[in-house]
Amino acid sequence: MIIAVDGPLASGKGTISRAISQHLGIPYLDTGSLYRATGLALIDAKADPTDADRAGELAANLDIDAIDETRIRTAEAGLVASKIAALPQVRDALFKLQRDFALQPGGAVLDGRDIGTVICPDADVKIYVVADAETRARRRWKELVAKGQDISYENMLAQTLERDARDANRTDAPMRAADDATLLDTSTLSIDAAVAEAVRLVEMRQPA
Ligand code: DC
């Protein structure tokens, strides 16, 4: 069973995807981590941030087992990820890795921006997770501050709006709900309630 979970930053898609993965006992891929790691690789290489071919090359050579989970979870890594994710060279380089992950025997859960539309248009279940921008910015701000990162709520809200606009307006695989996705608004839901609703959506599609 392939489960596609898309949505903007801090909508709750990661938490929901991990819960579905555990519930079904199938692997989970956070595809945002691939774009974050590519962006950091570009910074580490001191490459021109607009050098699309170099960014594509770095994406193609990404070692997913070597991704530094702490380093990619900063607001800066999120911003650079959103920028390089607009480059077709990067998206093309990361396509096969994501597609192969989805097609492994037994299926998988993938979350991102274009899973239901581009990577897995054939997914068995598609969920598009949303929440209002202020709620999402506050969630992410609290997470980052709890990890000791120095960022204001106002800055986080500005970054949220900037990334939403860039992710949704790029030409190549923009962030959007697939026509056959179910919308899940987590603005006023607790984590438990959001997870329960997502699991219910999956259960509805599972063969008896
Ligand atoms: O989900 P995230 O915040 O970790 O994603 C970081 C950035 O990566 C996001 O702003 C846009 C990009 N991204 C993408 O373009 N397509 C995906 N499937 C996942 C992430």
The per-residue pLDDT for 13 is 98
Ligand 1 pocket test, pick from 5, 9, 35 with the greatest ligand atom count within 8 Å of Cβ, gives: 35
The per-residue pLDDT for 208 is 56
Which mean pLDDT values do the consecutive 10-residue runs of the chain (208 residues) have? 98 98 98 98 93 97 95 94 97 98 98 98 98 98 96 97 97 97 97 97 82
pTM to 2 decimals? 0.96
The per-residue pLDDT for 205 is 87
The per-residue pLDDT for 49 is 82
CB count within 10 Å of CB 105 equals: 6
Phi, psi values for residue 200, rounded to 5°: -60, -40
The per-residue pLDDT for 122 is 97
- For the chain, which domains are there? 2-203 (3.40.50.300)
Q: How far apart are CA 176 and CA 199, in angstroms?
A: 21
Q: Is the CB of 112 under 6 A from ligand 1?
A: yes
Vertex 119 angle, CA 113 and 125, to 5° = 80
Protein residue closest via CA to atom 15 of ligand 1: 85
